[in-house]
Amino acid sequence: MALASQASTDRDAIFDEIVALLSKYSPPFEVRRDTKGGYHLWSQKPVVIEGRKEKEVYFAGVIPQKAYVGLYYMPVYAEPEQKAIFKPELLARLKGKSCFHLRRMDPELKAQIRDALSAGFKMYEDRGWV
Protein backbone atom coordinates (compact mmCIF):
# COMPACT_ATOMS: atom_id res chain seq x y z
CA MET A 1 0.00 0.00 0.00
CA ALA A 2 2.92 2.35 0.68
CA LEU A 3 4.02 2.07 -2.95
CA ALA A 4 0.64 3.27 -4.17
CA SER A 5 0.97 6.42 -2.09
CA GLN A 6 4.31 7.14 -3.79
CA ALA A 7 2.96 6.61 -7.29
CA SER A 8 3.18 9.47 -9.75
CA THR A 9 0.47 9.96 -12.36
CA ASP A 10 1.75 13.31 -13.67
CA ARG A 11 2.93 12.81 -17.27
CA ASP A 12 5.71 15.40 -16.93
CA ALA A 13 7.03 13.72 -13.78
CA ILE A 14 6.93 10.27 -15.40
CA PHE A 15 8.67 11.65 -18.51
CA ASP A 16 11.39 13.27 -16.37
CA GLU A 17 11.94 10.05 -14.41
CA ILE A 18 12.38 8.03 -17.60
CA VAL A 19 14.74 10.64 -19.08
CA ALA A 20 16.84 10.43 -15.90
CA LEU A 21 17.06 6.64 -16.29
CA LEU A 22 17.95 6.88 -19.98
CA SER A 23 20.51 9.65 -19.52
CA LYS A 24 22.76 7.24 -17.62
CA TYR A 25 23.48 5.60 -20.98
CA SER A 26 24.72 8.77 -22.67
CA PRO A 27 27.48 8.28 -23.48
CA PRO A 28 28.08 5.77 -25.00
CA PHE A 29 24.74 6.34 -26.77
CA GLU A 30 24.14 9.62 -28.54
CA VAL A 31 21.17 11.69 -27.43
CA ARG A 32 18.90 12.66 -30.28
CA ARG A 33 16.11 15.05 -29.51
CA ASP A 34 16.30 16.18 -25.93
CA THR A 35 13.12 18.20 -25.50
CA LYS A 36 9.86 17.98 -23.59
CA GLY A 37 8.52 16.29 -26.73
CA GLY A 38 10.95 13.40 -26.61
CA TYR A 39 14.33 11.98 -25.66
CA HIS A 40 16.01 9.29 -27.76
CA LEU A 41 19.27 7.30 -27.57
CA TRP A 42 21.10 5.93 -30.60
CA SER A 43 24.29 3.92 -31.01
CA GLN A 44 26.61 5.46 -33.57
CA LYS A 45 28.51 2.26 -34.18
CA PRO A 46 28.06 0.68 -37.63
CA VAL A 47 26.41 -2.72 -37.21
CA VAL A 48 25.15 -5.62 -39.27
CA ILE A 49 21.59 -6.71 -38.47
CA GLU A 50 20.21 -9.76 -40.27
CA GLY A 51 22.77 -9.31 -43.03
CA ARG A 52 22.04 -5.59 -43.51
CA LYS A 53 24.66 -2.97 -42.79
CA GLU A 54 23.29 -0.17 -40.61
CA LYS A 55 25.19 2.98 -39.69
CA GLU A 56 23.39 3.27 -36.35
CA VAL A 57 20.91 1.47 -34.13
CA TYR A 58 18.17 2.82 -31.86
CA PHE A 59 18.33 1.86 -28.19
CA ALA A 60 15.47 3.54 -26.33
CA GLY A 61 13.46 6.70 -26.02
CA VAL A 62 10.52 8.34 -24.36
CA ILE A 63 7.69 10.43 -25.78
CA PRO A 64 4.84 12.03 -23.82
CA GLN A 65 1.48 11.20 -25.38
CA LYS A 66 -1.97 12.58 -24.54
CA ALA A 67 -3.00 9.77 -22.17
CA TYR A 68 0.35 8.15 -21.29
CA VAL A 69 4.11 8.36 -21.60
CA GLY A 70 5.53 6.02 -24.24
CA LEU A 71 8.78 4.23 -23.46
CA TYR A 72 10.24 2.83 -26.66
CA TYR A 73 12.66 0.01 -25.85
CA MET A 74 14.27 -1.55 -28.91
CA PRO A 75 16.20 -4.39 -27.21
CA VAL A 76 12.89 -6.25 -26.84
CA TYR A 77 12.22 -5.75 -30.56
CA ALA A 78 15.70 -6.97 -31.50
CA GLU A 79 15.47 -9.94 -29.14
CA PRO A 80 11.88 -10.84 -28.12
CA GLU A 81 13.28 -13.25 -25.51
CA GLN A 82 14.05 -10.11 -23.49
CA LYS A 83 10.39 -10.19 -22.43
CA ALA A 84 11.32 -13.01 -20.06
CA ILE A 85 13.12 -10.51 -17.80
CA PHE A 86 10.03 -8.35 -17.37
CA LYS A 87 7.92 -8.70 -14.27
CA PRO A 88 4.13 -8.73 -14.80
CA GLU A 89 3.75 -5.06 -13.79
CA LEU A 90 6.00 -3.90 -16.64
CA LEU A 91 4.97 -6.54 -19.15
CA ALA A 92 1.31 -5.52 -18.78
CA ARG A 93 2.26 -2.10 -20.15
CA LEU A 94 3.91 -3.45 -23.33
CA LYS A 95 1.78 -2.50 -26.32
CA GLY A 96 2.91 -3.82 -29.66
CA LYS A 97 6.49 -5.01 -29.96
CA SER A 98 8.52 -2.36 -28.20
CA CYS A 99 6.40 0.41 -26.64
CA PHE A 100 5.39 0.57 -23.01
CA HIS A 101 2.44 2.81 -22.10
CA LEU A 102 3.09 4.35 -18.70
CA ARG A 103 0.23 6.10 -16.95
CA ARG A 104 1.75 6.00 -13.49
CA MET A 105 5.17 5.48 -11.95
CA ASP A 106 6.04 4.00 -8.60
CA PRO A 107 9.38 2.87 -7.15
CA GLU A 108 8.81 -0.78 -8.11
CA LEU A 109 7.96 0.00 -11.74
CA LYS A 110 10.88 2.44 -11.95
CA ALA A 111 13.23 -0.30 -10.69
CA GLN A 112 11.87 -2.71 -13.32
CA ILE A 113 12.50 -0.15 -16.07
CA ARG A 114 16.01 0.47 -14.74
CA ASP A 115 16.68 -3.30 -14.79
CA ALA A 116 15.31 -3.63 -18.33
CA LEU A 117 17.54 -0.80 -19.58
CA SER A 118 20.55 -2.42 -17.94
CA ALA A 119 19.77 -5.81 -19.52
CA GLY A 120 19.18 -4.19 -22.91
CA PHE A 121 22.46 -2.31 -22.70
CA LYS A 122 24.27 -5.55 -21.89
CA MET A 123 22.62 -7.24 -24.87
CA TYR A 124 23.75 -4.40 -27.16
CA GLU A 125 27.28 -4.66 -25.73
CA ASP A 126 27.32 -8.44 -26.24
CA ARG A 127 26.27 -7.96 -29.87
CA GLY A 128 28.90 -5.28 -30.42
CA TRP A 129 26.31 -2.58 -31.06
CA VAL A 130 27.79 -0.21 -28.48
Residue range 19-33, pLDDT digits in tens: 999 999 999 999 987
The CA distance from 96 to 111, in Å, is: 22
DSSP string, 38-77: EEEEEE-S-EEETTEEES-EEEEEEEE-SSSEEEEETHHH
The CA distance from 18 to 38, in Å, is: 11
- Check whether domain 10-127 has CATH 3.90.1150, yes or no: yes
For residues 27-55, average pLDDT:
85
86: helix, coil or strand?
coil
Q: Does the pLDDT at position 9 exceed 90?
A: no
pLDDT of residue 7: 53
The distance from CA 112 to its chain's CA centroid, rounded to whole angstroms, is 11
Confidence band, pLDDT 50/70/90 cuts, at residue 5: very low
